[in-house]
Amino acid sequence: MSQVAIIAGAGAGAGAGTDTAAEAARALAADGLDVALLDADASAGAATAAQVESLGRRAMTVRTDWTDTASAGAAIEQVCAHLGDPSVLLSVVPAAGPGQLPALSPQQWTDTTAVPLRAVFLACQAVLDPMARNGGGRLITIADTAGAETENATVRSALEGLTRTLALELAPLGITAHLLTASRPVDQLGTRAGRMPTAAEFSRQAARTVTMLTGATADSLSGQALRVGAL
């Protein structure tokens, strides 16, 4: 039976051509995985699902509220019933800077910080049982700042801590965890140089990194926070 990848937050990218989730879905399908696209707007993943199927893999879309425990659990059950137990969970999290803290309302803070963190937590929690049945798996989170002028450092830092905690606690189950974020290149002296990757560059490079982390050569890696920079 083929492996199954779940992409959570599949509508969170920057457009059909450069969308991070879509790039990753196509890359995973090219590697032979079936793909489920789970997003609050089920229609957001329809075009990507069609592209996955054109590569000879199975695909499905499920409307999912990742901030709601019942919705997350029901969506995972649908995927398991139609495609099989997942071996990969890719969570794509909008991580744009919310603006300066003194100017934020409590609701803006919640929407840009607490909501995405809760969504990642619930997504990871929902796939643990089926991954354990499957003998292990990969939890990969992308803090997607494609097209944004600033990064939400609070979200990134929290995701780094969550990733390391997941890596430690889930190692006995054969489940690894990683985080991908955008970064400027670093020169030989360790100084940040150049520019941030464009949305298209980040999407392509993140997708390639995802396929590396889901491959057999990455079995011994876990808890990594990887920076994807412009070339």
User: In this predicted structure, what is the pLDDT of residue 160?
Assistant: 94
> CA 155 → CA 31, 43, 79, 144, 181, distances in Å?
30, 27, 28, 11, 11
Residue 204 belongs to what domain range?
A: 4-229
- Which of 63-67, 73-77, 190-194 has the least mean pLDDT? 190-194
Beta bridge partners of residue 6, listed in sequence order:
36, 89
Measured between alpha carbons, how far apart are the two ends of the chain, in Å? Answer: 37
Alpha helices by DSSP H, listed for the chain, are 20-30, 46-54, 69-82, 106-109, 115-133, 153-170, 199-213
CATH of the domain at 195: 3.40.50.720
Distance from C-alpha of 45 to C-alpha of 37, rounded to nearest angstrom? 6
User: In this predicted structure, what is the pLDDT of residue 14?
Assistant: 38
Contact of 84 with 34, CB cutoff 8 Å = yes
Sign of the CA dihedral with 15 first, then 144, 42, and 85 last? positive
Question: Given the DSSP bridges, would you call strands 137-144 and 4-8 parallel, antiparallel or unpaired?
Answer: unpaired
- Which of 69-73, 89-93, 138-142, 224-228 has the least mean pLDDT? 224-228
Closest CA to 7 of 100, 129, 69, 90: 90
| Total structural domains within the chain | 1
Give the pair of three-digit tokens for residue 213: 């982390």
Beta bridge partners of residue 61, listed in sequence order:
37
CB neighbourhood size of 109 (10 A): 15
Per the prediction, the chain carries an average pLDDT of: 86
Give the pair of three-digit tokens for residue 109: 């803070």
User: In this predicted structure, what is the pLDDT of residue 16?
Assistant: 33
Stretch 181-190: mean pLDDT, rounded? 56
User: In this predicted structure, what is the pLDDT of residue 18?
Assistant: 41
Kindly compute the dihedral angle of the four CA atoms of residues 170, 140, 211, 135, in this order, to the nearest 10 degrees.
Answer: 30
